[in-house]
Amino acid sequence: MDPINHNAIEVNKLKKQFGDFVAVKDVSFTVQAGEIFGLLGPNGAGKTTLIRMLTTLTPPTSGAATVAGHDVVADPNGVRIAIGVIPQALTSDPDLTARENMTIHAKLYGLTGAQRQELIPRLLESVGLTEFADKLVGSFSGGMRRRLEIARGLVHSPKIMFLDEPTTGLDPVSRTAVWEMINKLKQGAGLTILLTTHYMDEADRLCDRIAIVDHGQLVALDTPAKLKDSVPGTDIVEAEFDNPPENWDAALEQLTGAASVANHSGVRHISSTSGPVTVRELMDLARDRGVTVRRVSVQGTTLDDVFLYYTGRQLRDAASESARRDIGYLYK
Amino acid sequence: MKFQRIFAIIERDMRKFFRSPALMMSSMIFPLMQLIVLGYAFGGKIKGIKIAVVDEDRTAASRDLRERFDAIVAGPRTMEVMNYGSISDALVDLRAGFVRAVVYIPADYSQRVEQGNRPRIAFIEDNTDNFVTSELFTRMQDLVRDINQGLNPFQPGQRLTVPLPRLNPLIDLQVVELYPYIEYIKYLLSGSIAMAVFIVAMIGGGITFIDDKSRGLHEGYLVTPITKTELIVGLILSGAIKGLMAGTTITVIGGLISGIDRLWDPVRLFYLAVVLSTTSAAMISFMFLLMVRVSDPLVPRAMFGVLNTLLYFPSGAIYPVEGFPVWLRWISYIDPFTYAVHALKALLLKNTGFSGIYSDILILAGFTVLLVSLSVAFFKRQI
């Protein structure tokens, strides 16, 4: 497979309907070979359903998708052999050891004894589980299990990895470890990775390109930097001054790029289309007027802003919306 | 179909099985306990039932009758006779439960015997306990028959001095017993073995299967290239191996407890292994088909008691199928337990060899093929 001009995943108007509820609405995108592609969205946005259709676990209602050149409906086994899947739920068997989990999976993929002997210790080593290889998985922490499952997903040397919310429920240290593993995979094995997440920082840090998913639809798709650039006027310049003169806020509003000024008990929040330019002018203005700048900082556009811009609401609001749907009876 | 994948599923199941001794123990303790408790509770002969005898006749004929009761008291000791002076006292004690039956010999008994005018004895029974009643009634019938045989049917009041072989109108039934007397615990053993196999199928094929499913473990397997036939055949074979192990263990332990003769006869052990293998395969397939679309882990737990009652009791394990009403017989026909119990009884109680079990084996194997095919048809490879 040529990594440059071959799309690893092609999704064309994929749709999934459960009764009246449309979980995924005519989604189309392509993932290039060798990139880390992120599906970002709140719980209930349809990310897991989308990933299940691509990994042959759920049949699509309509539309088409090919994974590594195999159609997910017509040739599911071709897809299964080409992909490694780390589902959202922890699927390693707690009653077996790490090595046994790996062995059983390797056998299901048809690996020979010699291949297993060679690969399994190496994979366990790469996820830092060598000393726990013969311990029961039931005694593992969530992070260890997730790392084991990543190793297990690699046992048949797949071309494409699917990771459904790989760090949900993990502590910060384990999250960082999983991120490092994912980066290493991309660099080392040249894998194509499709992951879903509802963490902005995770998407920002790992993904080459991000698709924002909301209510089963793709609302934006680009690199993290371009997505942030596409959102107007959302750098925030935060500044504090000693003895600011009268009409100081009005003067601040005249700065290049400044869109609005808000005074939060002495701390000015200037929203700007270009943070660095506004800061330079602010410093000049303060010097000319003899105002002492006690503190100044620029907060660039975050993916939170991007999400807000494209969906009209904060990701955390979307999350509580879906929580309300899940545990609505608690609100009544 | 790739055997490597089937063996991988079997390997997984067997490793899990040997890591959970609780499962192994529970699959054996319950049937053994049932065997011992039921075997000893129901197996014994009923003895010492208190009956009241009220003799208002007080003649030689009535004394003869009372002596016959005393003979039962001295012999099989089925009853304990208490003499009452009046029928009303006896009836009060009968209602109060101090005696289980009252035998009333009326004042005109001997007179009617002399006249050949249908002499009557009243037998008043507390019929709330069927087992006691039927045992007493059998004794009473024997007793009355014995007296009748001593009376001359042609000349009322005349005792026969010589029997009338040519003219005796009564048919004498001669019973030939093929096998030595079977204690109830031996009779129950076959059911307990089948029960052990059933519990393993229930826990392995029902409870753990659904638990693994609801914990998401299946999702990990479904993303691999395994086909549904491979997955189901693997799960059923591993269940059958577990059932065979549990069944063999109960056969040996239960056989020793109940005292089966020549338990180590190698030919019989071989046939037992064949019966246990087919039984295990049929039971696990049955359970698998029931659970193939279930995902709530509470369902198999809730169904345990229902299935146990519905499969074990109609199988003839504790009471012969011939005693069932028609609807219950139909359950027994489609119940794999029935054939397992029949084959195990044939081997353990009668040591029939292959001729006594081949039809059961064929039926159980047919069941398995049908149930596995249905399971494959209904199993959802997708989530």
Residue B160 is classified by DSSP as: P
Q: B193: helix, coil or strand?
A: helix
Over residues A277-294, the pLDDT tens digits come to: 889 999 999 999 888 999
Are residues A26 and A66 located together in one domain of the fold? yes
Tell me how close the Cα of B262 comes to any Cα of chain A, in angstroms: 40
Residues on chain A touching B15 (C-beta within 8 angstroms): 95-96, 100
What value, to the nearest 5°, has the Cα angle with vertex B70 and ends B65 and B75?
125
What tokens appear for B358 in the block?
């081949």
User: CB distance A57–B15 less than 8 Å?
Assistant: no
Residues on chain B touching A109 (C-beta within 8 angstroms): 224-225
**C-alpha span between B281 and B369 (Å, rounded):** 9
Q: What is the pLDDT of residue A2?
A: 43
Q: Is residue A313 part of a domain?
A: no
Find the CB nearest B2 among A85, A105, A110.
A110
Tell me how close the Cα of A8 comes to any Cα of chain B, in angstroms: 18
Contacts of A273 (CB under 8 A, 6+ apart): A232, A233, A235, A257, A259
Q: What is the pLDDT of residue A322?
A: 63
**C-alpha span between A171 and A141 (Å, rounded):** 10
Are residues A163 and A253 located together in one domain of the fold? no
Q: Which domains does chain B have, with CATH numbers?
A: 3-42+182-378 (no CATH), 45-149 (3.40.1710.10)
Q: Can you give the CATH number for the domain in which A240 is found?
A: 3.30.70
Average pLDDT, chain B: 86
What tokens appear for B235 in the block?
């799960």
Counting the structural domains of chain A, the total is 2
**C-alpha span between B143 and B131 (Å, rounded):** 19
Domain's final residue, options A178, A197, A229:
A229
Is the minimum CB–CB distance between A110 and chain B shorter than 8 Å? yes
> How far does CA B11 lie from the centroid of its chain?
36
What tokens appear for B178 in the block?
């093929």
Tell me how close the Cα of A42 comes to any Cα of chain B, in angstroms: 21
pLDDT band at A38 (very low <50, low <70, confident <90, very high): very high
Is the minimum CB–CB distance between B376 and chain A shorter than 8 Å? no
The maximal CA–CA distance of chain A, rounded, in angstroms, is 81
pLDDT at B161 over 70: no
pLDDT at B163 over 50: no
Over residues A62-94, the pLDDT tens digits come to: 999 999 999 999 999 999 999 999 988 889 999
pLDDT at B153 over 60: no
Per the structure, the complete domain to which residue A152 belongs is given by: 7-229
**C-alpha span between A315 and A305 (Å, rounded):** 9
Q: Which pTM does this prediction carry?
A: 0.80
User: CB distance A104–B5 less than 8 Å?
Assistant: no
Are residues A159 and A256 located together in one domain of the fold? no
Choose between B69 and B344: higher pLDDT.
Answer: B344
Mean pLDDT computed over A27-53: 92
Q: Is residue A309 part of a domain?
A: no
Are residues A142 and A254 located together in one domain of the fold? no
User: CB distance A96–B11 less than 8 Å?
Assistant: no
Query: Of A141-145, A292-296, B7-11, which has the strongest mean pLDDT?
Result: B7-11
Q: Is residue A252 part of a domain?
A: yes
Are residues A140 and A278 located together in one domain of the fold? no
Are residues A257 and A178 located together in one domain of the fold? no
Answer yes or no: are the C-beta atoms of B284 and B369 closer than 8 Å: no
Query: Of A145-159, A182-196, B73-87, which has the strongest mean pLDDT?
Result: A145-159
User: CB distance B12–A93 less than 8 Å?
Assistant: yes
Candidates B179, B157, B160; CA nearest to B60 is B157
In chain A, % helix, strand, coil (3-state, to 5) comes to 40, 30, 30
Contacts of A174 (CB under 8 A, 6+ apart): A141, A142, A143, A144, A146, A167
HSE-up (13 A, CA, CB side) for residue B213? 25
Answer yes or no: are the C-beta atoms of B198 and B283 closer than 8 Å: yes
Are residues A157 and A191 located together in one domain of the fold? yes
Q: What is the pLDDT of residue A132?
A: 96
**C-alpha span between A326 and B4 (Å, rounded):** 42
Which helix (H) or strand (E) element contains residue A86?
strand A83-86
Indicate the angle between helix axes B228-258 and B3-19, nearest 10 degrees.
40
Are residues A83 and A194 located together in one domain of the fold? yes
Choose between A280 and B166: higher pLDDT.
Answer: A280
Q: What is the pLDDT of residue B96?
A: 85
The neighbouring-strand residues paired with B83 are: B53
Tell me how close the Cα of B329 comes to any Cα of chain A, in angstroms: 42
Q: Which of residues 194-223 of B touch A (CB under 8 A)?
A: 212, 215-223
Are residues A12 and A87 located together in one domain of the fold? yes
Q: What is the pLDDT of residue B168?
A: 45
User: CB distance A56–B383 less than 8 Å?
Assistant: no
Residues on chain B touching A100 (C-beta within 8 angstroms): 12, 15
Are residues A193 and A249 located together in one domain of the fold? no
Mean pLDDT computed over A153-180: 90
User: CB distance A110–B19 less than 8 Å?
Assistant: no
User: ipTM for the complex?
Assistant: 0.80
Answer yes or no: are the C-beta atoms of A301 and A228 closer than 8 Å: yes
pLDDT band at B128 (very low <50, low <70, confident <90, very high): confident
For chain B, percent of residues with pLDDT exceeding 70: 92
Candidates A228, A140, A70, A29; CA nearest to A38 is A29
Q: What is the pLDDT of residue B158?
A: 52
Over residues A13-29, the pLDDT tens digits come to: 999 999 999 999 999 99
Find the CB nearest A108 among B15, B219, B226.
B226
Domain's final residue, options A229, A263, A282:
A229
Q: How many CB pairs under 8 A join A and B?
A: 74
